[in-house]
């Protein structure tokens, strides 16, 4: 895989750093939230990070577990950058990066967990940069197309963990329900205490059970992280 040479900033966590560059979707709080919260077992089969971008979710999964982690991205710049970030991390021997779309990626065996921070704009005005349009914007058929993809459809056990805006939760719920996935856990995210729900972080499985629902607010009125958010992210943020 070719090298990415467009670095223009570095974001540092406690145990690893992320190079960022133009044309690649930059690190955001959504990915960090999902990476901190997703219920991942220490041991088990591979973890698949779909649309890896900078590789943030793959690296967080590698830090939290002892498992093999795969990252895929359909944009070559993202796949190359994620690979270089992975190679610079303490877990390079357990992380593999692929330049592939979720529609075409066919692993030799099904992952045990999938991490998904998908494009969150449906039918919005595209970004001026084509690569960022692909990373942030999607057509309404994308959720169902992804849940029908080989990596998703071959999973008969394991879990899918994703974060979506509250405004698009219904589209995603319709897609996963049609493919026999069931909601097990739901974290409702507020920006401020008693504010509106802005994000839903979800854990799905093939087994129906009453979903466990919790609420987390991110920031205090003074802009500092809430105690719950600090506790959730303590192993990552400096």
Average pLDDT score over residue span 33-52:
97
Q: Is the confidence at residue 110, as pLDDT, over 80?
A: yes
Spell out the domain ranges in the chain.
9-233
Length of the chain: 238
Give the three-class secondary structure for 219. Answer: strand
How many CB atoms are located within 10 Å of the residue 133 CB?
Answer: 16
Third-level CATH fold of 9-233: Rossmann fold (3.40.50)
- Give 20-24's long-range contacts (Cβ < 8 A, gap of 24+): 20/54, 20/81, 21/77, 21/81, 22/129, 23/75, 23/77, 23/129, 23/131, 23/132, 24/53, 24/54, 24/75, 24/77, 24/78, 24/81, 24/131, 24/135
**pLDDT tens-digit series, residues 137-162:** 468 899 999 999 999 999 999 999 99
Name the percent of the chain lying above pLDDT 70: 88
pLDDT of residue 164: 97
**pLDDT tens-digit series, residues 67-90:** 999 999 999 999 999 999 999 999
Q: What is the pTM of this model?
A: 0.90
Task: Give the pairing type, strands 113-116 and 47-50.
Answer: parallel
């Amino acid at each position: 895989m070719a090298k990415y040479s467009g670095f223009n900033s570095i974001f540092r966590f406690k145990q690893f750093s992320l190079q960022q560059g133009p044309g690649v979707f930059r690190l955001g709080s959504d990915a960090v939230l999902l990476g901190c919260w997703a219920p991942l077992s220490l041991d088990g089969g591979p973890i698949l990070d779909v649309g890896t971008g900078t590789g943030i979710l793959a690296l967080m999964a590698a830090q939290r577990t002892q498992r093999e982690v795969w990252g895929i991205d359909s944009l070559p710049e993202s796949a190359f950058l994620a690979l270089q970030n992975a190679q610079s991390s303490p877990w390079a021997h357990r992380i593999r990066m692929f330049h592939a779309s979720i529609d075409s990626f066919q692993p030799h065996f099904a992952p045990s967990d999938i991490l998904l921070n998908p494009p969150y704009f449906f039918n919005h005005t595209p970004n001026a940069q084509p690569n960022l349009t692909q990373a942030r914007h999607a057509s309404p058929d994308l959720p169902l197309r992804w849940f029908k993809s080989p990596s998703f459809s071959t999973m008969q056990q394991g879990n899918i963990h994703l974060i979506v805006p509250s405004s698009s939760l219904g589209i995603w719920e319709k897609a996963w329900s049609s493919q026999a996935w069931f909601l097990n856990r739901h974290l409702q995210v507020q920006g401020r205490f008693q504010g509106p729900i802005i994000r839903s972080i979800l854990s799905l499985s093939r087994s129906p059970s009453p979903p466990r629902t919790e609420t987390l607010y991110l920031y205090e009125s003074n802009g500092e992280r809430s105690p719950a958010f600090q506790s959730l992210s303590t192993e990552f943020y400096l």
